[in-house]
């Protein structure tokens, strides 16, 4: 016999766990379904989550006002998430945006400044001499311009944020099922959800937050207009004797305009579950297209893209002193991209909803993306500060 719920959220990652929490705040007749992180990648053949990580940049500073708004609303909730869950996931070390000096109003730095006029926050607009005085071990091109956001910025552990959200969700008496959904079938006015371990759940309304695996699992009646990219990150290991104050450095986003240089994002030194400190870097113009479920699984188990590894390792050793690193390791994840550049949050058929498409920017903003998604499925409400059309399914087709 099926277990019956009013609401089901499929996908227990950053957005799904947040959405489930907000639904349970209003109505705890809700189930959250999604697998826990596997002990090892190599022996796991099921779904992976891109939140299996300890470092993601968080900041309000952005060239785009919608993303800045989603971040600002989410970051305001970080303290309450910690207070309810007692799981620490956020470190406020600041965030540094770096780009070339330019008189062009559409340049990277000038676009951030313009966006900040609408979505306000405190920041410092600095030159290279001022940055060198603050962080004398960082090296950037001489023509660089800087925005430093010190408050409400730094980095989060997505792994621990998901744990915190699920912790609060279960405190609210929501039901969590660690499983993988194989099938969703509409039966009259409800949905029958079947899992890989042969459990059956009936729900009146369903929200799918399946990330990059959403299309590959074929659980929706349509294929969402999303593209999946495999990305590689490099972790530079720092010996504790070389740690200095690198764990207090800001998170960095760098858009250079010099030949041979690559866009990168860099996390400061973070302690990982193996008790070692790593500086993480990702970015570059290289990525790997992922087109099937099997390709996704293989990608997560691989060492990554060699061109990407070479480019970002070189950037890491250019911006930070290369001598502080003992060795380098790589890791992989997938990112989900939409035509609009925003998540698709929409009702794709009666009582079946999706919240998919982080576009490489959603971790920091996942709490409020979950809130918007929960408002839609609960009461068909929407935050009028966010243009609903931009996040609709049709806008990304």
Segment 152-172 shows an average pLDDT of 99
Topology of domain 90-155+227-338, per CATH? Answer: D-Amino Acid Oxidase; Chain A, domain 2 (3.30.9)
Q: How far apart are CA 296 and CA 292, in angstroms?
A: 6
- Provide the token pair at 98: 């770096």
For residue range 180-239, what is the model confidence (pLDDT) as tens digits? 999 999 999 999 999 999 999 999 999 999 999 999 999 999 999 999 999 999 999 998
Query: What integer pLDDT is reported at residue 338 of this predicted model?
Result: 98
Of 281, 270, 271, whose CA–CA distance to 309 is shortest? 281
Q: Is 202 left (phi over 0), alpha (psi -120 to 50) or beta?
A: beta
User: Does residue 93 have a pLDDT over 80?
Assistant: yes
Query: What integer pLDDT is reported at residue 1 of this predicted model?
Result: 58
How crowded is residue 127: how many other Cβ atoms within 10 Å of its Cβ? 11
Segment 257-278 shows an average pLDDT of 96
Question: What percent of the chain stands above pLDDT 70?
Answer: 100
Mean pLDDT over all residues of the chain? 97
User: Does residue 376 have a pLDDT over 90?
Assistant: yes
Segment 4-24 shows an average pLDDT of 98
The backbone torsions φ and ψ at residue 335, rounded to the nearest 5 degrees and listed phi first, read -120, 150
3-state secondary structure 81-142: HHHHHCCCCEECCCEEEEEECCCCCCCHHHHHHHHHCCCCCCCEEECHHHHHHHCCCCCCCC
User: Does residue 90 have a pLDDT over 90?
Assistant: yes
Segment 261-273 shows an average pLDDT of 97
Segment 37-50 shows an average pLDDT of 85
Tokens 């008496």 correspond to 173
Q: Are 137 and 238 within 8 A, CB to CB? A: no
Tokens 């809700």 correspond to 30
Q: What is the pTM of this model?
A: 0.97
Three-class SS state of 202: strand
- Provide the token pair at 267: 């996390």
Three-class SS state of 4: strand
Query: What integer pLDDT is reported at residue 46 of this predicted model?
Result: 83
Query: What integer pLDDT is reported at residue 42 of this predicted model?
Result: 82
For residue range 319-343, what is the model confidence (pLDDT) as tens digits? 999 999 999 999 999 999 999 999 9
Same fold across 3-52+158-224+339-396 and 90-155+227-338: no
**HSE, side-chain direction, 13 A CA sphere, residue 37:** 15
Query: What integer pLDDT is reported at residue 138 of this predicted model?
Result: 98
Segment 244-270 shows an average pLDDT of 97
Segment 27-52 shows an average pLDDT of 90
No. of helices (H) and no. of strands (E), the chain: 9, 21
Residues 6+ apart with CB under 8 A from 33: 8, 9, 10, 11, 12, 177, 179, 181, 193, 195, 201
For residue range 104-132, what is the model confidence (pLDDT) as tens digits? 999 999 999 999 999 999 999 999 999 99
Segment 83-93 shows an average pLDDT of 99
Task: Return the domain boundaries, the chain.
Answer: 3-52+158-224+339-396, 90-155+227-338
Of 374, 329, 293, whose CA–CA distance to 53 is shortest? 329
Of 194, 106, 112, 192, whose CA–CA distance to 147 is shortest? 112
Query: What CATH number has the domain spanning 3-52+158-224+339-396?
Result: 3.50.50.60
- Provide the token pair at 101: 């000096």
């Amino acid at each position: 016999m099926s277990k019956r719920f009013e609401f089901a959220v499929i996908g227990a990652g950053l957005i799904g766990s947040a959405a489930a929490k907000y639904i349970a705040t209003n109505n705890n007749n809700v189930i959250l379904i999604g697998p826990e992180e596997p002990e090892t990648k190599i022996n796991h053949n099921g779904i992976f989550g891109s939140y299996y990580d300890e470092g993601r940049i968080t900041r309000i500073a952005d060239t785009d006002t919608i993303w800045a708004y989603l971040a600002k609303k989410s970051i305001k909730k970080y303290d309450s998430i910690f207070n309810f869950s007692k799981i620490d996931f956020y470190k406020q070390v600041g965030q540094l945006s770096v780009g070339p000096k330019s008189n062009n109003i559409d340049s990277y730095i000038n676009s951030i400044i313009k966006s900040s006029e609408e979505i306000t926050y405190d920041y410092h607009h600095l030159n290279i001499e001022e940055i060198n005085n603050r962080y004398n071990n960082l090296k950037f091109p001489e023509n660089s311009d800087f925005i430093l956001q010190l408050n409400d910025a730094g980095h989060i552990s997505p792994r621990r944020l998901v744990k915190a959200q699920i912790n609060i969700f279960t405190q609210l008496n929501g039901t969590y099922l660690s499983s993988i959904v194989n099938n969703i079938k509409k039966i009259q006015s409800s949905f029958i959800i079947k899992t890989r371990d042969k459990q059956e759940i009936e729900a009146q309304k369903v929200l799918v937050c399946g990330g990059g695996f959403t299309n590959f699992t074929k659980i929706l009646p349509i294929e969402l207009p999303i593209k999946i990219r495999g990305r590689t990150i490099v972790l530079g290991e720092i010996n504790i004797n070389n740690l200095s104050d690198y764990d207090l450095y800001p998170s960095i986003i760098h858009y250079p305009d010099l030949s041979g240089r690559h866009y990168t994002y860099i996390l400061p030194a973070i302690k990982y579950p193996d008790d070692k400190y790593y500086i993480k870097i990702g970015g570059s113009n290289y990525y790997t297209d992922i087109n099937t479920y099997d390709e996704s699984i293989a990608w997560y188990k691989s060492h990554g893209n060699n061109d990407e590894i070479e480019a970002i390792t070189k950037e890491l050793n250019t911006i930070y002193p290369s001598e502080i690193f003992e060795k380098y390791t790589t890791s992989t994840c997938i990112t989900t991209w939409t035509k609009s550049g925003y998540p698709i949050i929409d009702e794709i058929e009666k009582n079946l909803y999706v919240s998919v498409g982080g576009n490489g920017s959603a971790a920091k903003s996942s709490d409020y993306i979950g809130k918007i998604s929960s408002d839609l499925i609960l009461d068909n409400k929407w935050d009028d500060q966010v243009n609903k059309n931009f996040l609709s399914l049709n806008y990304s087709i």
